[in-house]
């Protein structure tokens, strides 16, 4: 992936809850294990603890409650309006629990990361 920041991936993170995945990203970045920078956080819930995690690290954030928008398109438009300001290379859905419409300029630049552990198979 070509990045706009000289090799470090600029990440925007969408979340709906505690922000555990976001915290894991911050820790990996700090240890030098993830060549990235979190440039923006969007939450669908005002009470999401992930917003506190972002604030502690000085990352700009926004709350975009799904219920305030009549359609998925309007909801999505508001999210990506905020995200575009911060020019991310990649948008990470980290436990984001709402359906969104991905605009054309972000096609191929969205990654859905579900924070739940998956069962192990085999053995």
Tokens 């290379």 locate to: 89
Q: Report which of 14, 48, 20, 50 is spatially closest to residue 117, judged by C-alpha positions.
A: 20
Q: Which residues are catalytic?
A: 114
- DSSP state, 2? -
> What is the Cα–Cα distance from 90 to 80, expressed in whole angstroms?
12
């Amino acid at each position: 992936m070509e990045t706009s920041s000289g090799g470090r991936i600029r990440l925007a993170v969408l979340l709906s809850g505690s922000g555990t995945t976001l915290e894991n990203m911050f820790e990996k970045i700090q240890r030098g294990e993830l060549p990235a920078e979190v440039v923006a956080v969007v939450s669908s819930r005002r009470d999401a603890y992930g917003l506190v995690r972002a604030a502690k690290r000085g990352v700009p954030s926004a709350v975009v409650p799904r219920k305030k928008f009549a359609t998925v398109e309007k909801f999505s438009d508001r999210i990506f309006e905020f995200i575009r300001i911060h020019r991310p290379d990649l948008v990470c859905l980290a436990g984001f629990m709402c359906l969104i419409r991905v605009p054309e300029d972000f096609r191929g630049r969205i990654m859905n990361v579900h924070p739940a552990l998956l069962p192990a198979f085999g053995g």
